[in-house]
Each structure stands twice: as C-alpha cells, then as structure tokens.
C-alpha cells in the first residue's frame, strides 16, 4: 500500500496533464463555458458534477477535439491542443448518447478503435475479449447494438472507449443506465483500471455517491463556471457556498446574522431561538448575513436536552422518512423552520424511539456545520 497521499494539486512543482486557461465557449450568443481555468493532473480520477446544461459535455467535447474554445486555450501535457484533430489525440471519449455503430456487432464496435491502431489480429482479438469480460458482455459479442438492452449498450460504449487504453479517458455519464449493483462493480473496475494503467479519467456523473466513491477530486459546475474544485471530503464537509452544499447531498440551511469573536461565530437567526454557535475561519463583519449549513447526519436527535451540547433546539417530529439503514426525521422548530436529522436504524422499525408529533431535541457541536457567505 502506497502511504504517500496522492495530491499533486497541492504540489506547486507538479505539472498538470490538462490545463484549461481562461477557456470560454460560446454557441452564438450563449455562453456555455465561461472563462474557466482548471488543472487536471496525471492519474487523476476527476469528476465533473453539475445540473443539466451546465456545460459538462461541452468541456469533454473540447478535450476530445469536437469543439474548439471561443477564447482561451487548453493544454495537454503542456502543449496547446487546438490544432490537433480528434483522431490524433491520445484521448478517448465515451459519448453520453453512446454513439455505437449500428451496422457493427458488439465485438466489432469494441474492435473499431483497435483496428485503427495497427495491432495484429491476435492482439486485437485478445484485447476485445478482455474488454468483453470486463464489461460482462461476452455472451452478446455477436449481437448488433439494437439487439441489446440500454444498460448493455452503455457497457459496450464503455468497453469501446477503454479498449485503446488512452492516456486520457473521458466518460460522459458512463454508468447512468446500470442497476446499483452493476454500477458499483463497474465503479470498482474503473478504479482498478485506473490504478493499473495510470490512465487519467475525467468522468461526468449525476450521481454524487458515484463521484464520492471514485473521484480523487470533484468539480461542481454551474452555468459554465466552476464553483468548487476539491477532494470529495472537502466538497462534502466544507462546501464553499450554499450552491455546492445544496447540490451535494442533503443539507439544512439556516439564514442569520453573524457575530464573530476569533474563530467563534454566533448566528442569530430567529426571535426566541437560541443563537447558533459555530466556528469559521472567515472574517465576517458584525451583523453580516450568512448561511449556516449542516448535514442531517450531524444532528443528534434525543428525547431529553443533552447537557453539554454547543447547540440544542427543541421541536416536533413532522415526518419520518424510512430509508432502510437510516431514517430521516423532519423536525419543525417553533420558528417554523424544518430541520432534517438522520439517525441509523440500529433497532427494528417497530421499536424506534421517536414517532410523529413527539417533542424531541436536536443538538450538534460547534464544528458540525459550516458558515457560508454566499
């Protein structure tokens, strides 16, 4: 096991594999990518996350060479790739629409790129078989794309892009159509491939759990801009904005006015409610409007007021969402604000401690949540 942490983005000496430098892409008047700068390092597993239409596919297409930036430049291993046509780039892309060749069998689809590479027949056959095994498509090798299911088609597209073992692999929602089990298996296969071959992956996903599982870093995008680029744990624990906090996972947001003393922040947020105690390294002006974000699983729910909690509030259970392993309690505070609190279902459902209309206490430590300016 390699003990040094893989974090080239923290190393000022490290040379990025891909550099976006003030890249803007316009379609007519519409700005799809807005002065975006980004470094992606070799052997990274980089995840792009963002709402539909925020420009994820457009970024991929610029890397693959199907779109050129309206301004700014993209460097691959230090060289501007603008003049390099798609077929000369050591980049393979898995298309969001799969783009399988309908006239070719699954086998020939996967072999397509290999045949352009000039390997021997045996090498190509061996590689195709390997890819078929990896994506569990061996049984369907002779079928045409219209004779297999949507999930199988997605796997063919994945296999086809993996087959050439490129330096940079672009996966546009590679696993969306797969069931959870197969998706997890494939995620681990991808991570395995990544570890074995050292290929750099850029992956678009709508599944934040997937981004958390596979990615070395996650970029959250909105309207053609990067909102935050960081490791999954930082994105989750220390989002830099309400947008990111809200986009990744479940979150409670409380708006209030801040007062700061050192790194201790108190947020007054509703009349008759105790202020929230939190910590923050931001420097806030007195009375500044801030958002306090806290994840539901960071709230402890109890029947009695805990003695030593930095924050404690009482409320009434409005609703309980049973999710199998955990339950989410919607607790309405006297101010009308509803907070979500999660707790693990360590007991059977019939024996759970709280039920509808119960009065409960919610508590959390002063480091459980984050203070956000925007």
Partner 1 sequence: MRRLILIGLPYLWLLALFLVPFLIVLKISLSDIALSIPPYTPQLDLSEGWAGFRAFLAALDFENFTFLTTDDLYWKAYLSSFQIALLSTLMTLATGFPIAYALARAPREWRPTLLMLVILPFWTSFLIRVYAWMGILNTEGLLNQLLLALGLISEPLTILNTNTAVYIGIVYTYLPFMILPIYAALEKLDDSLLEAAEDLGCSRISAFWLVTVPLSRSGIVAGCFLVFIPALGEFVIPSLLGGSQTLMIGKVLWEEFFSNRDWPVASAVAIILLLILIVPIILFQRNQQKQREAEG
Ligand X SMILES: Nc1ncnc2c1ncn2[C@@H]1O[C@H](COP(=O)(O)OP(=O)(O)OP(=O)(O)O)[C@@H](O)[C@H]1O
Of 37-45, 71-79, 94-102, 212-220: span binding Mg ion (CB under 5 A): 94-102
Q: How far is the CB of 215 from partner 1 (least distance, A)?
A: 23
Residue 113, phi then psi, degrees to nearest 5: -70, -35
Q: Is residue 205 a contact point for Mg ion (CB under 5 A)?
A: no
In the complex with partner 1, the residue whose CB is nearer, 116 or 374, is: 116
From candidates 57, 199, 213, 327, binder to Mg ion by CB under 5 A: 57
- DSSP E strands, the chain: 18-27, 30-40, 45-49, 71-76, 79-80, 91-94, 168-172, 200-204, 217-222, 225-230, 252-261, 264-268, 276-279, 289-294, 300-302, 311-322, 326-332, 338-344, 359-364, 370-372
Shortest distance in whole angstroms from residue 321 CB to partner 1: 40
Least spacing, CB of residue 54 vs Mg ion, in Å: 9
With DSSP H G I counted as helix, E B as strand and the rest as coil, what are the percentages for the chain, rounded to 5?
A: 30, 35, 40
Neighbours of 310 (CB within 10 A): 16
Is residue 29 close enough to count as binding ligand X by CB under 6 A? no
The verdict on 145 binding ligand X (CB under 6 A) reads no
- Residue 52 interacts with ligand X (CB under 6 A)? yes
- Neighbour tally for 39: CB within 10 Å: 19
Q: In what order do the strands lie in the sheet with 71-76?
A: 30-40, 18-27, 71-76, 79-80
Measured between its terminal Cα atoms, the distance across the chain in Å is 40
CB atoms within 10 A of CB 63: 22
Q: Please pick, from the candidates 3, 11, 30, 324, the single residue that binds ligand X as defined by CB under 6 A.
A: 30
Pick from 171, 180, 146: which is nearest to 96 by CA? Answer: 171
d(CA 263, CA 179): 45
Selected range binding partner 1 among 35-43, 80-88, 223-231, 258-266, rule: CB under 8 A: 80-88
- Subset of 288-307 contacting partner 1 (CB under 8 A): none
102 binds, among partner 1, Mg ion, ligand X, none (CB under 5 to 8 A by kind): partner 1
Contact 98, 153 (CB under 8 A): yes
Question: Which of these segments, 5-13, 91-99, 216-224, 273-281, binds Mg ion (CB under 5 A)?
Answer: 91-99
Report the nearest approach of ligand X to the CB of residue 88 (Å): 23
Spatial separation of the C-alpha atoms in residues 260 and 258, rounded to whole Å: 6
Among 57, 152, 199, 240, binds ligand X (CB under 6 A): 57
Q: How far is the CB of 30 from ligand X (least distance, A)?
A: 6
Q: 334: which DSSP letter?
A: T
CB of 57 to ligand X, least distance (A): 3
Range in contact with partner 1 (rule: CB under 8 A) among 17-25, 70-78, 88-96, 299-307: 88-96
Using CB under 6 A as the binding rule, whether residue 54 contacts ligand X is answered as yes
Q: Which of partner 1, Mg ion, ligand X, none does 55 bind, CB closer than 5 to 8 A by kind?
A: ligand X
* Residue 174: CB atoms within 10 Å: 28
Contact between 373 and 284 (Cβ < 8 Å): yes
Residue 27 found at the interface with partner 1 (CB under 8 A): no
Position 113 contacts partner 1 (CB under 8 A):
yes
Instruction: Count the residues of the shown chain that bind partner 1, applying the rule CB under 8 A.
Output: 24
The entry of Mg ion, ligand X, partner 1, none that residue 164 binds, CB within 5 to 8 Å by partner kind:
partner 1
- Residues lying near ligand X in the complex (CB under 6 A): 27, 30, 32, 50, 52-58, 96
Residues that bind Mg ion (CB under 5 A): 57, 96
């Amino acid at each position: 096991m390699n003990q040094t942490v893989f974090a080239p983005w923290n190393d000022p000496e490290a040379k990025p594999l891909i550099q976006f430098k003030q890249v803007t892409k316009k379609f007519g008047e519409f700005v799809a990518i807005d002065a975006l700068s980004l470094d992606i390092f070799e052997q990274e597993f980089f995840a792009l996350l963002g709402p539909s239409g925020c420009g994820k596919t457009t970024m991929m297409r610029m890397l693959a060479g199907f779109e050129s930036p309206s301004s700014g430049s993209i460097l691959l291993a230090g060289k501007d790739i603008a003049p390099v046509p798609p077929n000369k780039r050591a980049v393979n892309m898995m298309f969001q629409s799969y783009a399988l060749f309908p006239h070719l069998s699954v086998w020939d689809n996967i072999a397509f790129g290999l045949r352009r590479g000039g390997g021997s027949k045996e090498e190509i056959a061996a590689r195709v078989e390997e890819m078929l095994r990896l994506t569990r498509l061996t049984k369907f090798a002779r079928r045409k794309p219209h004779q297999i299911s949507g999930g199988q088609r997605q796997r063919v597209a994945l296999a086809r892009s993996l087959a050439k073992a490129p330096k940079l692999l672009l996966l546009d929602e590679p696993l969306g159509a797969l069931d959870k089990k197969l998706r997890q298996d494939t995620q681990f296969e991808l991570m395995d491939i990544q570890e074995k071959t050292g290929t750099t992956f850029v992956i678009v996903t709508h599944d934040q759990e997937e981004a958390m599982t596979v990615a070395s870093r996650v970029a959250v995008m909105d309207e053609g801009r990067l909102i935050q680029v960081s490791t999954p744990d930082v994105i989750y624990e220390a989002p830099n904005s309400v947008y990111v906090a809200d986009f990744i996972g479940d979150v409670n947001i409380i708006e209030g006015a801040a007062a700061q003393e050192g790194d201790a922040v108190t947020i007054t947020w509703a009349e008759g409610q105790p202020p929230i105690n939190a910590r923050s390294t931001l420097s806030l002006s007195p009375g500044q409007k801030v958002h306090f974000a806290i994840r539901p699983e960071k709230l402890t729910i109890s029947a009695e007021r805990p003695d030593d909690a930095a924050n404690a509030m009482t409320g009434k259970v409005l609703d309980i969402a049973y999710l199998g392993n955990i339950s989410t309690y919607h607790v309405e505070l006297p101010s009308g604000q509803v907070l979500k609190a999660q707790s693990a279902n360590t007991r059977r459902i019939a024996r759970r401690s709280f039920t509808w209309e119960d009065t409960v206490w919610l508590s959390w430590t002063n480091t459980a949540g984050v203070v956000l300016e925007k």
